[in-house]
Amino acid sequence: MTRTLTLLAFSILSGTASAASPAESIEEPKRGVSPNGTVLDPSGAVIPGSTVTLNCDGAGGERTILTDSQGAFRFDGTLSGGCEIRVEFEGFKPFVRKVKIGTKPAAPLVIVLAITEVHEEFFVGNDSTSPSTIAGEDRDANRMGAEDLEGLPSLDQDYLATMSRFLSAGSVGTSGVDLVVDGLEANGLKVGASAIQEIKINQDPYSAEYSRPGRGRIEVITKPAPPEYHGNFNVVFRDHHLDARNTFAATKAPEQRRGLEAFLAGPLLGSKTTSFTISATWQDDDLQSVVTALGPSGAIRQNVPTPQRNVDITGRLTRQPNQRTTYSVAYSYEDRQARNRGVGGITLPEAGSNYRMREDEIILNHRTTLTSRLVNQFRLLLGRYSAPTTSLEPGPKIVVADAFVSGGAQADLLRTEHHFTLTEMLSYSRGRHLFKLGINVPDWSRRGIEDDTNAEGTFSFSSLQDYAQGRPYAFVVQRGNGHVVFLEKVLGAFVQDEIRVGPRLALSVGLRYDWQNYFHDNDNFAPRFSFAYRLGKTSRTVLRGGAGLFYDRSGPQPIADILRFDGERFRRYVITNPSYPDPFSQGLAPSATPVSAVRLSPDVQIPYSLHFSTGVERQVGKRATMTLAYTGVRGFHLFRSRDVNAPPPAGDAARPDPSVGVLRQIESAGRLRSDALEVGLRGKVGRFFTGMAQYTLGWSQNDTGGVSYFPADNYDLSGEWGRADFDQRHRLNLLGTIDAGRKFKLGIALSMASGKPYSLTTGRDDNHDGLANDRVPGAGRNTLQGPSHSVLDLRLSRELLLDRSRGDKGPALTLGLDGFNVLNRANYAGFVGNISSPFFGRAVSANPPRKLQVSARFKF
């Protein structure tokens, strides 16, 4: 045992024991009657609660236990002969190894798990980096462990933002990116950077367990508590004196950012069965937005303070009363504050608002090994949420299309929510099969809205000339009771079988069902399938493919619109060509104005998309994998909005039903086509570089911009089919680190992409539907091309060991200097396609210039 521990310590100190796999050598029990050992993570910390399964020939089948609080396990009883031992823990790569058991006691096993996805796995080939034939081990997945993330340049240590560049916009649903934290869908990450163990994108893309495909999903695994006390304390600082000037700013904005983050974990009061983790983050951002507008008196260019204050605190207690059961309870607190929200670009300071949000959540987690083949996982989240928005100034809002926005923000709104999320899953292994089945409740919430927006109205003008002459094309005002409360219910269920067909072929077959209320669409069954085939018994090449249906969700906003704007309790008036500044000066009373309303189309259904891919994975060198894949998406019945009471094209500007104003109908009639060719390289390349790079050549077309999108012509939709808003022909992303040992570590983040499209519009409301989105005759949607963008971020860091006698296990201080957009390239955004605007063909904003960030991290 002394030799084993000595070898392990040397491996960890030399950086060669980052993972244990069947291809790597570990000390095996040569003889013994009861296999036993300890399970460790790559840092050498023990992993309590991991599942250890022993399957011996002729010994009564499989036996499953959990490691204790010290990461140790022992199988009782007399065993001999050939056995297979398998170790699993969420967030780590499964360990599988064949061992031979003799008749005398032997040294304990020391097993080091690599950070990766949890899946039942068998291994083929001679190296752990060789592509695997397991559904969840696709090598075109983008994942980073804690050590890799710490070495990357990351603005404000926001690792989610750093990794999100590998998401595919065509795979993101109506409600945004699907974030899964420790197996539960979440609306935000409530822990700090030091509490993150791993982030994954596109892991097992066709799994029936999830509602969204892998390219539209981010999975986060947080760190478990170790048996000894461990902690991290981070300090991050930025100041405008170290930054470059924004290309649109007349002077450099006086910004400063201060951040503190802490993570502490270990046994609770020395207990061997109960542990804790605490994560806390405080951010104080004195930010500035740049206003670039043109008003009646000329150009307006100024810096406006937009400070933000964020606090996140999460605590978790975990208890393991025996080797078969682990349960935990966690509480998280989140507070967000933002002043002058919305200011910047053409929006002047008086049109901003203040925002405050607080959310409290309790998370329960219970994992039980029911039998040697059956494991149950139960997770429950309970939460409450409150978010008021208050306008900075009273008075009507003034919008001059693509020139300036002034007046009051008219944004007064209060949102509240009480919700729960639930996941119940059973995993059953038998022979060549691993069965998973479960139910999800991604959202079951009571939502409340107090809507005081547009209480004094919004005037919209097509141009500065129209504003000077007092000729708005529309006035929108809302009156009545803006209070509404409703239940949003979202349910899901799934079953999946991962099949080991043979040593070279594995299949995954699943079926998912999704449902949500208000849409009366109850047949949303989504089959999923994937395969992996190794070309030869010892080949380093694996063919992989799959396909699956994925149903969308509406999110709460469309439901709230339908319930509020029913034409009775909360009345919305849209008046075209009103008088100014008093739209009711000519005796027109609001009660005499037709009320606008929102409704669902009678044939509405939940949108769905077909995702499919095929590709090849090839191991190159000893520790890297190259991938080549074709991916496709076909979207059907996508959401959009249409005014079904708009004035006919050949009419006299009168609406078909004069008793109703705008009748917004939410439809599911849009479609999407997306095709892409992806080339990727992941792993360790050469002696020093570790990371991942991905180039995508893609095409995306659709005829809708989302559930709130209105076509230019409500009666003729032929011009809507065109490039999708997110279409970019070329995209290149790279994340990686150059590790020179104790000397330094250089982190690199490179993002390059072709420009996105935008539409050519007149800026006028010639069809009198209350919207100035009319396009130039003969011009389709998104026919103009924006410029490309390129951003290079770098991080230079060095770790100082404070107790060299303990090596990596001892306390250490890491000093870092991050540079974002280090080449200070002006990446323009917000291009104007309105020919009536003084900014036509030009940008009105730009992404941040070069910024520098200094940081210090102390860990023990």
User: Could you tell me if 824 and 702 lie in one domain?
Assistant: yes
Asked whether 291 and 839 are in contact (CB, 8 A), the reply is no
Q: Distance between alpha carbon 367 and the CA centroid of its chain, in Å? A: 25
- Cα-flanking dihedrals φ and ψ of residue 849, to 5°? -75, -165
105 or 310: which carries more pLDDT confidence? 310
- Cα-flanking dihedrals φ and ψ of residue 808, to 5°? -65, -20
Handedness of CA 152, 156, 159, 160 (dihedral sign): negative
Confidence band, pLDDT 50/70/90 cuts, at residue 20: very low
CA dihedral 234, 852, 153, 312 (to 10 degrees): 40
The DSSP annotation for 275-318 comes to EEEEEEEEEEEE-EEEEEEEETTEEEEEEEE--EEEEEEEEEEE
**In whole angstroms, what is the distance from residue 754 CA to residue 343 CA?**
27
- Cα-flanking dihedrals φ and ψ of residue 193, to 5°? -60, -35
Residue 132 scores a pLDDT above 70: no
Residue 22 scores a pLDDT above 70: no
User: Distances from the Cα of 244 to the Cαs of 258, 790, 819, in angstroms?
Assistant: 18, 16, 11
User: Could you tell me if 275 and 421 lie in one domain?
Assistant: yes
User: Which CATH number is 43's domain given?
Assistant: 2.60.40.10
Residue 609 lies in a domain: yes
SS3 call for 376 = strand
Handedness of CA 712, 717, 723, 725 (dihedral sign): positive
User: Which CATH number is 761's domain given?
Assistant: 2.40.170.20
Residue 156 lies in a domain: no
Residue 432 lies in a domain: yes
Residue 768 lies in a domain: yes
Task: Note down the domain range covering 110.
Answer: 2-115
Residue 148 lies in a domain: no
User: Could you tell me if 107 and 240 lie in one domain?
Assistant: no
CA dihedral 42, 45, 51, 55 (to 10 degrees): 70
**In whole angstroms, what is the distance from residue 181 CA to residue 385 CA?**
18
Among residues 51, 80, 115, the one where a domain terminates is 115
Q: Give the angle 754-750-698 at the CA atoms, nearest 5°.
A: 35
pLDDT tens digits for range 678-730: 999 999 998 889 999 999 999 999 999 999 999 999 999 999 999 999 999 99
**In whole angstroms, what is the distance from residue 272 CA to residue 321 CA?**
9
User: Could you tell me if 230 and 87 lie in one domain?
Assistant: no
Question: Rounded to two decimals, what is the model's pTM?
Answer: 0.85
Asked whether 8 and 17 are in contact (CB, 8 A), the reply is yes
Percentage of the residues of the chain whose pLDDT score is greater than 70: 89
pLDDT tens digits for range 531-568: 999 998 888 999 999 999 999 999 999 999 999 999 88
User: Could you tell me if 584 and 451 lie in one domain?
Assistant: yes
Confidence band, pLDDT 50/70/90 cuts, at residue 41: confident
Residue 507 scores a pLDDT above 90: yes
pLDDT tens digits for range 145-179: 898 999 999 999 999 999 999 999 999 999 889 99
User: Could you tell me if 640 and 784 lie in one domain?
Assistant: yes
**In whole angstroms, what is the distance from residue 752 CA to residue 754 CA?**
7
Residue 472 scores a pLDDT above 90: yes
Residue 11 scores a pLDDT above 60: no
Residue 651 lies in a domain: yes
Q: Distance between alpha carbon 637 and the CA centroid of its chain, in Å? A: 24
Asked whether 33 and 74 are in contact (CB, 8 A), the reply is no
The set of residues, in sequence order, having a beta carbon less than 8 Å from that of 139 and lying 6+ positions away, is 131, 132, 542, 617, 625, 627, 680, 682
Residue 118 scores a pLDDT above 80: no
**pLDDT average, residue stretch 429-452:** 93
The DSSP annotation for 773-798 comes to -PBPTT--TT-EEPPPEEEEEEEEEE
Among residues 65, 86, 115, the one where a domain terminates is 115
Number of domains making up the chain: 2
Find residue 423's DSSP bridge partners.
Answer: 379, 440
Residue 539 lies in a domain: yes
Find residue 694's DSSP bridge partners.
Answer: 680, 733
Residue 213 lies in a domain: no
Give me the amino acid identity at 538: T
User: Distances from the Cα of 340 to the Cαs of 239, 346, 541, in angstroms?
Assistant: 20, 14, 55
Q: Distance between alpha carbon 41 and the CA centroid of its chain, in Å? A: 26
Beta-carbon-side half-sphere exposure of residue 799 (alpha carbons within 13 Å): 21
**In whole angstroms, what is the distance from residue 199 CA to residue 412 CA?**
36
Residue 483 scores a pLDDT above 70: yes
Smallest CA-to-CA distance from 213 within 271, 258, 153, 168 is with 168
**In whole angstroms, what is the distance from residue 749 CA to residue 853 CA?**
15
Asked whether 798 and 151 are in contact (CB, 8 A), the reply is no
Confidence band, pLDDT 50/70/90 cuts, at residue 130: low
Residue 331 scores a pLDDT above 70: yes
Among residues 115, 143, 177, the one where a domain terminates is 115
pLDDT tens digits for range 726-784: 999 999 999 999 998 778 999 999 999 999 999 999 999 999 999 999 999 999 999 99
Tokens of 11: 């491996």
Highest average pLDDT, of 393-402, 498-507, 735-744, comes from 393-402
